[in-house]
Amino acid sequence: MRYPILLLLKHHKMTPVAFAIFTEFLILATLGFLLLWSLEILLPTFVSARINLPLYLGGILSLFILHHAISVWLPQKINPLNRPLRWFLIIFLGFLSIILLILSLLKFPSPAIVIILLFCGFLGYLFRRIYSAV
């Protein structure tokens, strides 16, 4: 008998509910990090003097890895958002990212700005191709 507790969790009736709550928590944690990062860009050292942002980001990334592992191990499906809400979030977060990128790149030399923008565009392209966001 191998891993009886994991098999019990796999077939328990509350597992989908716990997975949905974990997904919601992960979304709220990511939005909280976005808010803290935006405040840090607009008001330097306002957040970083109190909270270690790289540690917070590492925690969120490890939770994403755990979430993906659970969704693969358990046959759990994540329901996508409806199309208008998804487009609103993509456009809103895109504009917010562009504004924060412009604010953070004001003091950089021009070649560095081009390299950073190309890299950000490449990461966005990879994110869209891997996760089929749209």
Does one domain contain both 88 and 99?
A: yes
Q: At which of 79, 101, 124 does a domain end?
A: 79
Q: At which of 55, 79, 103 does a domain end?
A: 79
Q: What is the pTM of this model?
A: 0.58
pLDDT tens string 57-111? 888 888 888 887 877 777 666 666 677 877 887 788 778 777 777 777 777 788 8
Let me know: does 47 contact 53? Beta carbons within 8 Å.
yes
Let me know: does 134 contact 90? Beta carbons within 8 Å.
yes
**How many angstroms separate the CA atoms of 81 and 27, rounded?**
13
Q: Work out the average pLDDT over 23-48.
A: 82
**How many angstroms separate the CA atoms of 19 and 17, rounded?**
5
Band (7; pLDDT cuts 50, 70, 90): low
Show the domain range for 71: 1-79
Percent residues over pLDDT 90 in the chain: 0
Q: Work out the average pLDDT over 8-16.
A: 71
